[in-house]
């Protein structure tokens, strides 16, 4: 009776495993055939929620010094980032952040990272509401065509990626070198330094772990052990000999760690631990006091037209007239063609050069306060999946609005707030 119950259970487990396997296979087939129908995209940056990309870090002035490099050649990724004041509650504040490059594996290595003038190879703190300048020095390693982003990893918030650019790397990875001069004056190649040891001790520990797991799995297996424990026979599971062998195995492991540590210490007496502290007090960009304010007075997002309508009360207390020239969010740039008469250098898939218009296009004079509606409309809004904000729990957008004066002064003003999603075209605000 009991064995027949066990058999039935085992059959169920097998049938379920088979179903999961079949489903996995179907999903894998779909995954390999579906992308052919959609344009070749990058590596999943659009899958991050719209609110996360719009209301955390606003990237601007992002520049890639080159788009074609040879293996071993260096390039720079520079720009500025505004830390959004309305940082979402669901995401941890950027108190521990790390400047990185978003790319498919180490195709370019990070030779240097700077926030402001401070070298930032470790984590640092960012203040909400402030702007920072950054620079990444990258060296090409693997040949191919790769999508390369600036990225800031936030503890508790995950990686937040900026705009990406396609970089062509020519040459052959076999020629890649990464020479570094040590404190004692000698030079090593980090690409191959100590690589035999890295492989040796990783594989030794992996082999030890595999033997251990396999042994216990081969003797009984997880489900049988579970049943035995359930049947009250848990104490018979491990024999005396197995306990002795386990003790020996533990002693051997501890000895290996101890000897390895002593040996490494005597071979390399002068070593520094990995620098993993937190840099505090990095200065933000000293921006002049704002002379333009923009108060959000409501807005809507029309899903079929991919149109974000933002009502603003703009006050200009500066000495020059200003015009709304650009709205940037999630790495996308929506430009007002009246202000940008030439197309700036920027990845085309993120640049809507006719994507912004203003209900009253005349410049806002010094001392004037005016209610305007800014229309942000472009397919890129939807392609980059920012339309998802219509389905968010609070449907709040965010971004930077740039004002331009006749003398070429630019001022960035943060805007954001809840918008009402509209699912029919032609509905008025």
* Nearer of residues 78 and 396 to Cu ion, judged by Cβ: 78
Q: What is the dihedral of CA 344, 348, 354, 356, to 10 degrees?
A: -90
Structure tokens at 141: 């390693």
The Cα–Cα gap between 123 and 103 comes to 19
Residue for token digits 């590596």?
43
Minimum CB–partner distance for residue 58 and Cu ion (Å):
18
Residue for token digits 């620098």?
275
Minimum CB–partner distance for residue 107 and Cu ion (Å):
12
Structure tokens at 411: 């001022």
256, with CB counted inside 10 A (0-12, 13-18, 19+), is: middle
Structure tokens at 384: 């980059």
- Using CB atoms, what's the residue nearest to Cu ion? 42
Minimum CB–partner distance for residue 110 and Cu ion (Å):
17
Structure tokens at 56: 């955390």
Minimum CB–partner distance for residue 346 and Cu ion (Å):
15
* Nearer of residues 42 and 137 to Cu ion, judged by Cβ: 42
* Nearer of residues 46 and 220 to Cu ion, judged by Cβ: 46
* Nearer of residues 292 and 350 to Cu ion, judged by Cβ: 350
3-state secondary structure of 131: strand
* Nearer of residues 103 and 326 to Cu ion, judged by Cβ: 103
The Cα–Cα gap between 40 and 62 comes to 23
> CA quadruple 123, 124, 129, 133: dihedral positive or negative?
negative
* Nearer of residues 45 and 326 to Cu ion, judged by Cβ: 45
Which residue(s) pair with 160 in the sheet?
A: 152
Question: Is residue 281 a contact partner of residue 399, using CB atoms and an 8 Å limit?
Answer: no
Residue for token digits 């001022």?
411
* Nearer of residues 43 and 220 to Cu ion, judged by Cβ: 43
Minimum CB–partner distance for residue 145 and Cu ion (Å):
12
Minimum CB–partner distance for residue 325 and Cu ion (Å):
26
Per CB under 5 A, residues contacting Cu ion are 42-43, 45, 147, 164
């Amino acid at each position: 009776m009991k064995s027949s119950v066990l058999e039935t259970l085992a059959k169920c487990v097998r049938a379920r495993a088979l179903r999961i396997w079949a489903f996995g296979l179907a999903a894998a087939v779909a995954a390999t055939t579906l992308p052919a129908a959609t344009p070749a995209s990058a590596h999943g940056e659009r899958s991050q929620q719209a609110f996360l990309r719009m209301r955390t870090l606003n990237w601007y002035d992002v520049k890639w010094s080159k788009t074609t490099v040879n293996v071993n050649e260096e390039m720079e990724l520079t720009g500025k980032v505004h830390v959004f004041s309305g940082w979402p509650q669901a995401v941890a504040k950027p108190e521990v952040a790390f400047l990185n490059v978003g790319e498919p594996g180490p195709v370019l290595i990070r030779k240097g990272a700077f926030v402001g003038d401070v070298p930032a190879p470790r984590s640092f703190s960012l203040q909400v509401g402030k702007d920072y300048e950054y620079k990444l020095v990258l060296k090409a390693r693997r040949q191919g065509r790769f999508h390369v982003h600036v990225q800031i990893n936030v503890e508790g918030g995950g990686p937040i990626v900026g705009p990406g650019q396609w970089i062509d790397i020519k040459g052959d990875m076999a020629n890649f070198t990464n020479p570094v001069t040590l404190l004692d004056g000698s030079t090593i190649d980090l690409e191959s330094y100590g690589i035999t040891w890295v492989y040796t001790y990783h594989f030794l520990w992996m082999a030890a772990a595999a033997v251990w797991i396999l042994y216990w799995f081969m003797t009984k297996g997880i489900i049988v052990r579970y049943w035995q424990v359930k049947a009250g026979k848990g104490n018979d599971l491990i024999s005396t000999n197995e306990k002795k062998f386990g003790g020996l195995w533990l002693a051997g492991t501890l000895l290996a760690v101890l000897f390895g540590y002593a040996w490494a210490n005597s071979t390399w007496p002068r070593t520094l631990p990995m620098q993993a502290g937190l840099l505090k007090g990095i200065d933000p960009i000293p921006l002049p006091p704002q002379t333009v304010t923009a108060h959000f007075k409501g807005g809507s997002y029309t899903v079929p037209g991919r149109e974000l309508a933002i009502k603003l009360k703009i006050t200009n207390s500066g000495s020059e007239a200003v015009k709304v020239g650009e709205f940037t969010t999630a790495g996308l740039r929506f430009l007002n063609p009246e202000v940008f008469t030439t197309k700036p250098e920027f990845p085309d898939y993120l640049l809507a050069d006719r994507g912004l218009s203003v209900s009253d296009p005349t410049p806002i004079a010094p001392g004037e306060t005016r209610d305007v509606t800014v229309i942000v409309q472009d397919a890129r809004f939807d392609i980059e999946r920012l339309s998802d904000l219509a389905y968010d729990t609070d449907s709040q957008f965010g971004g930077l609005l740039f004002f331009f004066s006749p003398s070429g002064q630019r001022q960035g003003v943060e805007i954001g707030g809840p918008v009402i999603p509209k699912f029919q075209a032609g509905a008025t605000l």
